[in-house]
Structure 1
C-alpha cells in the first residue's frame, strides 16, 4: 500500500486543489459524463490517462479484452451489461467508445487455449471472442494475426452493443454515437475505426 498512499498524498497536494471546485460540483449535482468508454483491464491502457480526462468526464467499464457480451435477459450476473444500461439509461451518455489495445493479454488467451485454461473464469469469458478469432484465422503471421484480432474484437463489441435494445434505439434516433479504437502501448498512438472504410486510422 505504500506506493498507493504516496500517490494519494501527491493527489491531495497537487491535483485536488486544482480540481476542488469540480469535485464539489460533482458531489452536489451528480455526474453527467458524455462518454462511456469500454476498455480493457490492462494496467497499461487507462482511458482517463490516455484522454487526459477530468473527474466526471468519462464513465468507464473495464474488463478483460474490453468485451461487450451479447444482450441477454436471464437472471444471472451481468456486470458489464448492467454498467452499459446504467450509463445509457441513467446517465444518458452521448458517446460510447470501445477501446482495445496492443499486446492485449485477453486476445492472446483467445489465441492460445493454454493461457485461458490456466486462469479460473477466463476461459468462459474469452469464449465470447470466438467470432473475432474465426474472422482473422486466415492470417498466418502470428503478430499480424494478433493485431487483426485486437481490431476485430473492437468491431465485435460494437456489433454486440447494437443487440441492446436501448442502445440501438438511441443510435437510430441520433442520440447516441458508437465508436471503436485501439491504443498502441509502445508508441502511445490511438487508432479510431473509420465508419466509411471500416479500417482503423491513426489519430493525428
Structure 2
C-alpha cells in the first residue's frame, strides 16, 4: 500500500495525551468494554458534518451509542437488491444483532448535503445531477421531503425546511425495513427524530401529534 502515510503529528500527540490521561484513568472500564462486547441502548443516525458531535450533546460514554454517520443523516428505503448498502447494513446490525431500544435520527442546521440537494433541484448545482455523482444520487433520497415543501418555501427557508424533512424521510424509510417495523410493532424499539441548531445549541424533537419539531 504505497499511498498510505504516517499519521499527522498533531494526531499522534493527541493520542498519546488521551492514552496517558483518559485511558489510564479508566483502564478497567475500557478492558470491560473489550471483554464483554458492546451493548448500546440506542443507535444514532447523524450527519457526518464535523460540527455535529452527538456524544458531546448527550454526554455519552464509550459503549453507550451505536453511531452511523452519512451525508445529511439519511436512511434510504428498504432495497434488498444484492448491492452494497452501508446504512441499511448498519441498521440491520443495530436492530437484529445489538437489539437497540431506540433509533434516533438527528439532523442539523447549515447542512451542506441538504443545501447541495436544494441547489441541485433549482439548477444551481448541475454537477450533482450527473449519474456519476455519488452525492447527488444519495441525496435523491430526500425527494419525497422536497415534494412536501417545495410549493410553500424558497431559498434559505426551503433549505431549513428540508433539514427537518431529511429527518422525517428517514423515519418513514426506517419503517420500510421489515425487522424495524416488527420491532416497533412489538414495542421493543422506538424511533425518534431530532434537529440540532449548531450555533444556538438548541435541540428539537419531532412531535407526531403536532406534526412539527418542538424544543426538548
TM-score over 0.5 for the pair: yes
Alignment partner of 1:162 is 2:162 = no
* Secondary structure of the structure 2 residue equivalent to 1:44: coil
CA–CA distance in structure 2, aligned partners of residues 17 and 78 of structure 1? 38
* Secondary structure of the structure 1 residue equivalent to 2:26: helix
Alignment partner of 1:133 is 2:146 = yes
- Count of aligned pairs: 203
Q: TM-score, normalised by structure 1?
A: 0.94
CA–CA distance in structure 2, aligned partners of residues 57 and 72 of structure 1? 29
Structure 2 regions of 5+ residues with no counterpart?
1-7
Give 1:1-204 correspondences, 5 Å limit. Answer: 1-113=8-120, 114=125, 116-117=128-129, 120-203=133-216
Runs of 4+ in 1 over 6 A off after TM superposition: none
- The residue number in structure 1 matching 2:3 is none
**Is the alpha carbon distance of 1:121 and 1:172 closer, same or farther for their aligned partners in structure 2, counting shifts above 3 Å?**
same
Shift of 1:195: 2.8
* Secondary structure of the structure 2 residue equivalent to 1:112: helix
Shift of 1:58: 0.3
Greater CA drift, 169-178 or 12-21? 12-21
Question: Is the Cα contact below 8 Å between 1:110 and 1:133 reproduced in 2?
Answer: no
Question: Is the Cα contact below 8 Å between 2:142 and 2:165 reproduced in 1?
Answer: no
Question: Is the Cα contact below 8 Å between 1:116 and 1:126 reproduced in 2?
Answer: no
Which structure has the bigger radius of gyration?
A: 2
Q: Note the alpha carbon deviations across 1:141-185, whole angstroms, 9 max, x for none.
A: 422211111111101100000000000001011100000001111
Structure 1 regions of 5+ residues with no counterpart?
none
CA–CA distance in structure 2, aligned partners of residues 202 and 96 of structure 1? 19
Q: TM-score, normalised by structure 2?
A: 0.89
**Is the alpha carbon distance of 1:76 and 1:13 closer, same or farther for their aligned partners in structure 2, counting shifts above 3 Å?**
same
